Amino acid sequence: MEKHGSNLATLSPAERDAINAHKAECLERWKAAQELACQIHAQRRDKGNKWRMWAERELAARPELEKEAREKLNRLMKGKGGDSSSSN
């Protein structure tokens, strides 16, 4: 009898709470990945020629963030500097 694809208004309070909790967890993970990528990018000059090995160790130490952090780091590297003005 459950309908999938319904909007939030048709869900029970418990179902809405579960969805909102999941969204909050995803947002926190995304923020942590963005921060990790920015930290790696900011420290690459200080680490010298071996910064890539160091960055790989940092990413490997956080497997739950690695994919998102690597994507952000790649975007930062393509921009050859700080984060672009777009927020996405």
Domain holding 73, by residue range, is: 12-78
Query: Contact at 8 Å (CB) between 39 and 55?
Result: no
Residue 79: pLDDT band with limits 50, 70, 90: confident
Q: What is the pLDDT of residues 16-68, one digit of tens each?
A: 999 999 999 999 999 999 999 999 999 988 888 899 999 999 999 999 999 99
Gap between the Cα atoms of 28 and 82, Å rounded: 22
Q: Which residue has the higher pLDDT, 70 or 45?
A: 70
Could you tell me how far CA 36 lies from the centroid of its own chain? 8
Q: How many domains does the chain have?
A: 1
Express each pLDDT in 1-10 by its tens digit: 455 566 878 9
Instruction: Give the phi and the psi of residue 75 in degrees, each rounded to 5.
Output: -65, -40
In the numeric block, which tokens belong to residue 39? Answer: 């930290």
DSSP category for residue 8:
G
Dist. CA 34–CA 69, nearest whole Å: 6
